[in-house]
Chain A
Amino acid sequence: MESFGYLMQGFAVALTPYNLLWCFIGVFLGTVIGILPGLGPAATIAMLLPLTFQMNPTSAVIMLAGIYYGSKYGGSTTSILLNVPGESASVVTCFDGYQMARQGRAGAALGVSAIASFIAGTFGVVGLMLVAPPLAKFALSFSSPEYFALMCLGLAMVVLLAGKSMIKALLAMMVGLWIAGMGTDLFSEASRFTFGHAELLDGVDFVVVAIGVFALGEVLGNMEIREGARMLPVPKGLRNLLPTLQDLKDCRFAFLNGSVVGFIIGVLPGAGSTIASFISYGIEKAVSRRPEKFGTGVPEGVAAPEGANNAETGGAMVPLLTLGIPGSGTTAILLAAFILWGLRPGPLMIQDNPTLFWGLVASMYVGNVMLLVLNLPLVPLFAQILRLPAYTLYPFIFGISIVGVYSVSGSLFDTWMLALFGLLGYAMRRLEYPSAPLILGFVLGDIMERALRQSLMMSQGDLTILVARPMSATMLFLAVLILLAPLFRKADALRVKAIAEGS
Chain B
Amino acid sequence: MADFETPKLKEYPVIPNLVDDVMKGSSPFIAKPLHNEPLGFPGELVEGWKDKAIDKMEDLLGKYRGLQVYLDSCVKCGACTDKCHYFLGTSDPKNMPVARQDLLRSVYRRYFTFAGKYFPKLVGARDLDKGVIDEWYSYFHQCSQCRRCSVFCPYGIDTAEISMAAREILDTVGVGQKYCNEIIAKVYKIGNNLGLPEPALKMTLEDLEEEIEEETGLPVKLPLDVKGADIMLITPSADFFAEPHIDGLKGYAKVFHEAGISWTISSYASEAGNFGMFIGSYENMQQISTRIREAAIDLGVKRIVHGECGHAWRVAYSFWNTLIGPFDFLDPNYPVPQHICEFTYDLIKKNKLNIDKTQNDHRTLTFHDSCNVARATRMGDKPGGQFDIPRAIIKAVCNNYVEMDPATTKEATFCCGGGGGLLTDDLMEIRVKGAMPRMEAYNEVVEDYGVTNLACICAICKSQFSKVLPYFNEKGAPQKFSMDMVVSVHQLVYDALVLTGQKFGDELDAHVAAMEAAADD
Physical interaction between A and B:
no
Please list the residues of chain A having a beta carbon within 8 angstroms of any beta carbon in chain B.
Answer: none
Please list the residues of chain B having a beta carbon within 8 angstroms of any beta carbon in chain A.
Answer: none
